[in-house]
């Protein structure tokens, strides 16, 4: 459904923007263009043949983008989770820290992504110092490690820049050239309140020095006018503030569906808030909970859009179900087709922005990284030393092959023959020329070949399919709250 919505409404959305004298940045346009080619045989494929039974199949190319493609995002999620669990965090207790920012700061960091690194350094130093002090050490005596994911999306497809940080629940010390890990207790509510106060004050002070905000007479911080160099400001501002970005209702709040508000949970000791800055540290995975840690890593590295929660209404609008209801009882948000496309555009990260960061003992320039991680990568790595002794045995940082991601996420193994179930499968050709692609697909379709019978080409969005989709999803207006 997501593909069909983009295929149908994205060109009209661009046309509407052009009437307003606006356009999308090149990297956002490329995100949509590559998404429309993702998984379609018409845009290229691999020919894979089994040497034993000669069974052949075609494997379409993926867009591998970071914005909103659910398929590629899920594969990247699987690789990230495997890397963290097997190579980085294996054998350590880990606590998740989640920092949310006020709405004005979310838009500010979206407009100035270069400031994200400085803000994240402030956050990491504050939490790392707290962990080290709770362990009974000074900063020069011990260190800790963390992996941070920058999430740009909220549950309602809104632009919401926040940070998921996986911190070691302890510190690393060096004694007589030996590395030692010491655990710490969970942070208390007083620790959380002190941390969120320090973090909010330091972030505000830095942004004021950078000239992005200023103080008024009451020492409150006011936002300065934002620059609109790439023409995305109106889309990002609407997305951050839950507003409609295009159409006749521009500027209005998005339509929501609400039920009875959920009861407030007791988050004492796990949550602290001040001036819109929220810090949560209630999720913990111990050393023996590898499955829980992988679920946690998958959660923080998940793609922005979930097609399972996406549906159409009888009026042709898009309904998106929240992962968990808001405190006011909101369970769904509704978008017009054009506003839905604008929300997707606002979620696309700028180019060359690294959304995964490693800090402390896990940082690339850490002297102990090779000794505290299972992969033994980094400075003074024994594997690197072996490579220097024997140049014929190069040492490379290994990433999960795309075929392995397919197997891990979708249980599709292109290295195993579908007919004889053997693994003697080889790639014999990479087809990228449009004329040859069309000739092969036309021939296979005329022959009613099973190779293209179940291909991943998107079905056409014809009238009958649209009516079927609309009939499947009807807004339920009467709720029995007593049930």
Residue 452 CB coordination number (10 Å): 20
Query: And the tokens for 212?
Result: 């992005």
Residue 28: phi, psi to the nearest 5?
-75, -40
Query: And the tokens for 96?
Result: 């998740």
Domain ranges within the chain, ordered by starting residue: 2-53+402-471, 77-375
475 pLDDT higher than 50:
no
- Does the pTM surpass 0.85? The reply is no
Q: For residue 384, what are the contacts with CB-CB under 8 A and spacing of at least 6?
A: 370, 395
Lookup result for tokens 């300065």: 224
Residue 117: phi, psi to the nearest 5?
-60, -45
Cα atoms found within 13 Å of the Cα of residue 78, Cβ hemisphere only: 17
DSSP string across 401-426: -HHHHHHHHH---TTS-TTT--S-EE
Cα–Cα distance measured from residue 400 to residue 406, given in angstroms and rounded to the nearest whole number = 10
Residues 189 and 123 sit within 8 Å (Cβ to Cβ): no
The 3-state DSSP class for residue 359 equals strand
pLDDT of 58 reads 85
pLDDT bracket for residue 385 (50, 70, 90): very low
265 pLDDT higher than 70:
no
Query: And the tokens for 63?
Result: 């867009």
Angle at 104 between CA 203 and CA 276, to 5 degrees: 65
Residue 413: phi, psi to the nearest 5?
-115, 105
Cross-strand bridge partners of residue 328: none
**pLDDT tens track for 92-119:** 999 999 999 999 899 999 999 889 999 9
Lookup result for tokens 């002297």: 367
Task: State the average pLDDT over residues 152-173.
Answer: 94
Cα–Cα distance measured from residue 192 to residue 189, given in angstroms and rounded to the nearest whole number = 5
Angle at 149 between CA 160 and CA 372, to 5 degrees: 165
395 pLDDT higher than 50:
no
Judged by average pLDDT, the poorest of 195-204, 214-223, 225-234, 364-373 is 214-223
Give the residue from 207, 84, 199 showing the smallest Cα distance to 130.
199
pLDDT of 171 reads 95
């Amino acid at each position: 459904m997501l593909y069909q919505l983009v295929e149908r409404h994205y060109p009209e959305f661009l046309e509407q923007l052009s009437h307003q004298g606006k356009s999308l940045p090149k990297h956002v346009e490329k995100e949509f263009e590559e998404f429309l080619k993702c998984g379609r045989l018409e845009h290229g494929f691999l020919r894979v043949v089994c040497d034993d039974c000669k069974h052949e199949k075609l494997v379409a190319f993926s867009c591998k983008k970071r914005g909103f493609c659910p398929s590629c995002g899920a594969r990247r999620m699987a690789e990230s989770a495997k890397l963290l669990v097997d190579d980085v965090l294996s054998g350590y207790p880990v606590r998740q820290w989640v920092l949310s920012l006020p709405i004005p700061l979310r838009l500010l960091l979206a407009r100035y992504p270069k400031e994200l690194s400085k803000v994240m350094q402030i956050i990491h130093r504050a939490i790392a110092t707290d962990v080290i002090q709770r362990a009974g050490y000074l900063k020069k005596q011990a260190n800790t490690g963390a992996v941070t994911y920058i999430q740009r999306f909220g549950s309602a497809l809104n632009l919401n820049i926040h940070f998921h940080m996986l911190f070691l629940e302890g510190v690393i010390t060096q004694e007589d050239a030996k590395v030692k890990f010491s655990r710490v207790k969970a942070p208390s509510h007083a620790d959380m309140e002190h941390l969120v106060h320090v973090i909010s004050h330091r972030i505000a002070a830095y942004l004021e020095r950078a000239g992005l905000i200023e103080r008024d007479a009451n020492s409150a911080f006011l936002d300065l006018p934002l620059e609109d160099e790439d023409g995305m400001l109106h889309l990002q501002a609407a997305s951050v503030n839950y507003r409609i970005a295009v159409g006749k209702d521009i500027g209005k709040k998005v339509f929501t569906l609400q039920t009875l508000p959920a009861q407030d949970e007791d988050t004492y000791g796990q949550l602290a808030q001040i001036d819109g800055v929220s810090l949560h540290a209630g999720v913990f995975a111990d050393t023996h909970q590898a499955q829980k840690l992988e679920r946690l890593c998958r959660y923080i590295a998940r793609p922005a859009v979930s097609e399972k929660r996406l549906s159409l209404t009888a009026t042709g609008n898009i309904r998106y179900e929240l992962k968990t209801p808001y405190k006011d009882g909101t369970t769904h948000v509704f978008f017009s087709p054009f506003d839905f496309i604008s929300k997707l555009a606002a979620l696309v990260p700028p180019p060359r922005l690294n959304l995964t960061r490693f800090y402390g003992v896990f940082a690339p320039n850490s002297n102990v990284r090779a000794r505290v991680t299972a992969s033994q990568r980094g400075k003074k790595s024994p594997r690197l030393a072996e490579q220097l002794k024997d140049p014929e045995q190069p040492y490379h940082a290994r990433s999960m092959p795309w075929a392995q991601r397919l197997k891990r996420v979708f249980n599709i193994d292109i290295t195993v023959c579908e007919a004889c179930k053997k693994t003697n499968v080889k790639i014999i050709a990479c087809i990228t020329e449009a004329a040859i692609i069309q000739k092969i697909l036309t021939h296979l379709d005329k022959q009613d070949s099973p190779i293209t019978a179940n291909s991943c080409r998107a079905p056409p969005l014809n009238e009958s399919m649209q009516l079927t989709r609309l009939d499947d999803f009807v807004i339920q207006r009467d709720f029995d709250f007593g049930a």
